[in-house]
Amino acid sequence: MSITSRGAVLSIDAMFAILVLFAIMVVGFWQLGHSAEKQKHEIKRIQLENDAIFLADSLVKNFDLNALLGIAVFDVEKKRVKSNEIMEKRIAELQKNPLIFGSWLKEKNGTQKTFFSKNTGKKECIAIERLVMSEKRRALFGVVVCE
Amino acid sequence: MNEKAIVFSLEATISLLALLVIVSITPVFEGEGMTELLLLQKENDLLKVWAKQGIPEKNKMIQDFLFVFPGQRGKIVVNEREIFIGEKKQGSNAIASKIIFFSRSLEKIEVVLIVFY
């Protein structure tokens, strides 16, 4: 670049370098925006996974009159909750929970009983299965949790 | 122009800028999520059910394992007797849980459940 009485004159090399600089800056900012978007999506997915895991865990480990807080069996005689033993008849009550979009019990012989299944639309969802005992039978208790 | 100033060649300028861009690219955090916690919870479920309903025979244990962890490899150790599920492979990550309980005849039973992932 040389300074003349008419102003700065760019050589082709300098002009080319400036164009490359702009191109690199554009790519750099695009990359930053893209990675920020990816990061946001990843954090959202992990948050959803956390919610689903803790929700399913709470359901099979707690007893409450409000089924949304736990559907485990309560042993009146021993005055304690029997974790991982659930009351099948209370599963349908879970559809009141706005985060839960579906629930089922899958047995070892392959039979699956779906209690409810709501339309998830375009929501991102995750399904979690936990081993439970229902009426003394082993089954996988599944819930679909959406954002 | 000042003769004493640093003069960058075009190549040097481009290289420096490219370096700047590479350095400024934020690495995307790709967490593994809570997969390990879920595996641990499921291991505990299986051990709890076995403790409540009694330790089944070897084949039933394998069936139970594959029911809870379909397609996964693992190892069950019951009182130091090892049962492998799937092929033995080195270099996998593993999550292990152990339960010790007493049967109705007061026999001590120790079960270790390992899931490779």
A114: its two tokens? 């779906």
Q: Is B19 on the interface with A (CB under 8 A)?
A: no
Of B1, B26, B45, nearest to A32 by CB-CB distance is B26
Are B21 and A27 in contact (CB < 8 Å)?
Answer: yes
Are A3 and B46 in contact (CB < 8 Å)?
Answer: no
- pLDDT at site B3: 59
Of the two residues A8 and B26, the one the predictor is more confident about is A8
Going through chain A in order, the beta strands assigned E by DSSP cover: 2-4, 7-9, 72-75, 80-86, 100-107, 112-117, 125-134, 137-146
Residue A23 to residue A134: CA distance in whole angstroms: 63
If DSSP states are collapsed to H, E and C, what string results for B6-32?
A: CCCCHHHHHHHHHHHHHHHCCCCCCCC
User: What does the DSSP 8-state code read for residue A71?
Assistant: B
ipTM of the complex: 0.77
Q: Is A49 on the interface with B (CB under 8 A)?
A: yes
pTM for this one? 0.77
Instruction: Please report, in tens digits, the pLDDT of each residue of chain B (117 residues total).
Output: 555 666 777 777 777 777 777 766 666 666 667 888 999 999 999 999 998 888 888 899 999 999 999 989 999 999 989 999 988 776 688 899 999 988 888 889 999 999 998
- pLDDT at site A54: 94
Query: What's the pLDDT tens digit per position in A20-64?
Result: 888 888 888 888 888 888 888 888 889 999 999 999 999 999 998
- pLDDT at site A18: 82
Give the residue among A132, A129, A126, A131 at the shortest CA–CA distance from A145: A126
Are A28 and B25 in contact (CB < 8 Å)?
Answer: yes
- pLDDT at site B101: 87
- pLDDT at site A12: 78
Q: What residue ranges do the domains of chain A occupy?
A: 5-146
Of A38, A128, A138, nearest to B49 by CB-CB distance is A138
What order of strands is seen across the sheet that includes strand A137-146? A72-75, A80-86, A125-134, A137-146, A100-107, A112-117
Closest chain B residue to A133, measured at CA:
B49
Interface with chain A: mutation pick from B2, B38, B39, highest number of A CBs within 10 Å: B38
Going through chain B in order, the beta strands assigned E by DSSP cover: 73-78, 81-85, 94-102, 108-116
Q: Is A86 on the interface with B (CB under 8 A)?
A: no
Interface with chain A: mutation pick from B8, B16, B17, B20, highest number of A CBs within 10 Å: B17
> How close does chain B come to A3, measured CA to CA in Å?
8
Q: Is A44 on the interface with B (CB under 8 A)?
A: no
Query: Is residue B50 a contact partner of residue B56, using CB atoms and an 8 Å limit?
Result: yes
